[in-house]
């Protein structure tokens, strides 16, 4: 085998950017790259290992021998080891064997920048390059309107390993198979976006992908990198946006991963108070280190650039923001101002969002953040973190607690529903009913509902109606859209068989209808992040557990009036105040027979009366079915 030859993809400018933490496209330089050098085909390797005294490429091409292909460290104190190995090409298995300056410490590591990895439990990296030809130019040219904060944004959260499985072989569906089955389903259900739980390579299935070892490699469980691109392409061709779960908060301690990479704390913070996560038994990135910031921001840019994704949902932001997250007194150290905020993580997120929106102004970043930290979705130049949206965890917790109560007690807890409107416009909120709410004994959404079978399904339909008419964008985890009764199990497919039963197919039909309504009614999205888009008609009737409100668009003719009845007692001839006189029609009733409701208590030919009610000059009498929501719209 020919020796390693001196060759570099790095310029002096690249190195200076890397050291300063300002190189945001490291994937073009680091890792393995099939190239031609001096008329020889081979692969260029580059890895950051500043504490190493020797780095060798080992693989199936040299029988995993650490003596034959040592890399050379650059002279510029960047800590980058590199070299060109002839006759090594696409498909080659490899790792880096790293001898540390620390006495007796040698590691064998997967490539942090590998574009493809072996199928777990195997752990080698694979030299990879693809020439996939994208066909989504039309989508990219128009996605600004699809991803706008003034556009409908309804997300279907998917775990690729359990959404559906091959019926006969009981295996994962491939990216190619999903490009037909998943795309057709999401399009039919009228969701605007899908969100994939982490698809970067991860070693341990029960982590659901949140413990990543291959940040630049799509999981080999479902196929090749270009097959994932094909799946995304097909989604785009059907006007469906793609959001990826992204985890810059922590990573696992697996021997082939980023931990103790070159015998030192390279990617993780060396102080355990900042570098180890007690909840998840994982390591925390060192946001103080420039090169680590470059790695993470480059990774975000990689998925947006190379895979054409339309947004990133950033996991566990709260754990990054606070030094005392899940720590007792004495287990954390205050920042230089004596506070609990992680100033380096905050500046990292601001830098991340600044670069993303600079390079890709038509995408969205979404923070999974569970505290009241201010300004998460405010622009960086106004002191915010710069995310496009933030999950509304308070709404989710309060709403699910309310729906888990027997209806007889709900009159004492009306505030659980109304409280969200006191802060609904402090951030650009997304309403999440995510995977976290249907695991670990929390029960499925359907199983959280109280009452007999009819009431449970009516409650679930009411929940979805309330969610889709509440200000904010929407996210629903797989299975919720048809009322799966069992908790989510990542080891098996969803219970698709239940769709043969009318209660489940009715819920599914409602979610499809709500998605269509959300897309078609401007009042539900044009001002979804503004107090101008919402107005109470009445929130004081706790005795009857009724709420009535208006959703407002840019034009008053688009206004919708929503009435909710959270008890199994029908509210017939219930008077509500109206914003103006005129005729109204019933746009949606969650009690309709097509949704497996009773079909009773519908509203026909409603006409306003000049009778003052709810401090308004006009009013009308409506029927609100038991455990149901109705939407009314002016017809003149």
The DSSP-derived string for 35-86 is EEETTEEEEEEEEE-TTEEEEEEEETTTTT-TTS-B-EE-TTSS-EEEEEEE
Task: Supply φ then ψ for residue 220, to 5 degrees.
Answer: -75, -10
- CA distances to 32, 113, 253 from 122, rounded to whole Å, are 19, 17, 16
- Per the annotation, the verdict on 291 as an active-site residue is no
Q: Which residues pair with 82 in a beta bridge?
A: 46, 72
Convert 335-362 to b/e letters by CB count within 10 Å (16 or more is b).
eeeeeeebebbbebbbbbbebbbeebeb
- List the one residue out of 327, 320, 313, 377 whose CA is nearest residue 347: 320
The count of C-alpha atoms lying within 13 angstroms of the C-alpha of 397, restricted to the half-sphere facing its C-beta, is: 7
> How far apart (Å, rounded) are the C-alpha atoms in residues 421 and 367?
20
> CB–CB of 433/399 below 8 Å?
no
Phi then psi dihedrals of residue 200, to 5 deg:
-70, 150
Cβ contact 620:611 at 8 Å: no
Query: And the tokens for 309?
Result: 């994704």
Q: Which residues pair with 371 in a beta bridge?
A: none
Catalytic residue among 201, 262, 291, 368: 368
Q: Is 103 a catalytic residue?
A: no
Give the DSSP letter of residue 479: T
User: Exposed, middle or buried: residue 499 (CB in 10 Å: 0-12, 13-18, 19+)?
Assistant: middle
User: Which of 227, 315, 369, 481 does the annotation list as catalytic?
Assistant: 315
Q: How many CA atoms lie within 13 A of 90 on its CB side?
A: 9
Pairing type for strands 116-117 and 125-126 reads: antiparallel
The b-or-e profile of 550-579 (16+ CB within 10 A means b, else e) is bbbbeeeebbbbbbbbbbbebbeebebbbb
Give the ranges where 212-289 is alpha helix by DSSP (H): 225-237, 272-275
Instruction: Write the CB contacts of 184 (distance below 8 Å, at least 6 apart in sequence).
Output: none
Alpha carbon distance 395, 400 (integer Å)? 8
Residues labelled as active-site residues = 315, 368
């Amino acid at each position: 085998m020919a020796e390693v030859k001196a060759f570099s993809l790095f310029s002096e400018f690249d190195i200076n950017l890397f050291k300063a933490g300002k190189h945001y496209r490291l994937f073009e330089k680091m890792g393995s790259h099939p190239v031609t050098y001096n008329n020889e085909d081979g692969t260029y390797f580059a890895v950051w290992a500043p504490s190493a005294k020797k780095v060798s490429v080992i693989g199936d091409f040299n029988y995993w021998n650490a003596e034959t292909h040592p890399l050379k460290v650059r002279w510029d104190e960047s800590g980058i080891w590199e070299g060109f190995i002839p006759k090594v090409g696409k498909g080659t298995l490899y790792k880096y064997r790293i001898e540390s300056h620390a006495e007796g410490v040698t590691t064998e590591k997967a490539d942090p920048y590998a574009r493809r990895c072996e199928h777990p439990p195997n752990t080698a990296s694979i030299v990879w390059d693809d020439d996939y030809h994208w066909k989504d130019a039309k989508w990219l040219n128009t996605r600004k309107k699809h991803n706008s904060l003034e556009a409908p944004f309804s997300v279907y959260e998917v775990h690729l390993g359990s959404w559906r499985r091959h019926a006969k072989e009981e295996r994962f569906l491939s990216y190619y198979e999903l490009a037909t089955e998943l795309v057709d389903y999401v399009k039919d259900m009228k969701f605007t976006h899908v969100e994939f739980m982490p698809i970067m390579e991860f070693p341990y299935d029960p982590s659901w992908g949140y413990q990543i070892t291959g940040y630049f490699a799509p999981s080999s469980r479902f196929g090749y990198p270009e097959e994932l691109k094909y799946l995304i392409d097909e989604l785009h061709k059907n006007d469906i946006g793609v959001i990826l779960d992204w985890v810059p908060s922590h990573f696992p301690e697996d021997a082939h991963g980023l931990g103790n990479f070159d015998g030192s704390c390279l990617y993780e913070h060396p102080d355990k108070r900042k570098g180890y996560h007690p909840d998840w038994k994982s390591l925390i990135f060192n946001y103080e280190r420039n090169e680590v910031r470059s790695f993470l921001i480059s990774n975000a840019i990689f998925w947006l650039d190379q895979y054409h994704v339309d947004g990133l949902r950033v996991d566990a932001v709260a754990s990054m923001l606070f030094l005392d997250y899940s720590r007792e007194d004495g287990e954390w150290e205050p920042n230089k101002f004596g506070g609990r905020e992680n100033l380096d993580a905050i500046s990292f997120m601001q830098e991340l969002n600044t670069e993303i929106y600079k390079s890709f102004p038509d995408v969205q970043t979404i923070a999974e953040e569970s505290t009241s930290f201010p300004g998460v979705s405010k622009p960086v130049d106004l002191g915010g973190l710069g995310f496009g949206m933030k999950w509304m965890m308070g709404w989710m917790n309060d709403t699910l607690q309310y729906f888990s109560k027997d209806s007889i007690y709900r009159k004492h807890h009306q505030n659980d529903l109304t409280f969200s409107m006191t802060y609904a416009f402090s951030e650009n909120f997304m309403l999440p009913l995510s995977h976290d709410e249907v695991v670990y004994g929390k029960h499925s959404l359907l199983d959280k509902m109280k009452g007999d079978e009819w009431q449970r399904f009516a409650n679930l339909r009411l929940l979805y109606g309330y969610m889709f008419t509440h200000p904010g964008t929407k996210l629903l985890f797989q299975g919720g859209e048809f009322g799966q009764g069992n908790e989510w199990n990542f080891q098996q497919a969803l219970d698709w068989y239940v769709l043969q039963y009318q209660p489940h197919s009715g819920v599914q039909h409602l979610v499809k209808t709500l998605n269509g309504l959300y897309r078609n009614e401007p009042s539900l999205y044009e001002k979804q992040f503004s107090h101008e888009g919402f107005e109470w008609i009445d929130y004081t009737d706790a005795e009857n557990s009724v709420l009535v409100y208006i959703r407002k668009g840019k034009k008053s003719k688009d206004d919708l009036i929503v009435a909710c009845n959270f008890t199994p007692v029908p509210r017939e001839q219930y008077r509500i105040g109206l914003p103006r006189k005129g005729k109204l029609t019933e746009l949606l009733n969650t009690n309709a027979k097509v949704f497996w409701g009773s079909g009773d208590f519908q509203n026909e030919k409603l006409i306003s009366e000049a009778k003052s009610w709810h401090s308004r000059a006009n009013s009308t009498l409506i029927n609100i079915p038991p455990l149901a929501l109705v939407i009314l719209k002016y017809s003149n």
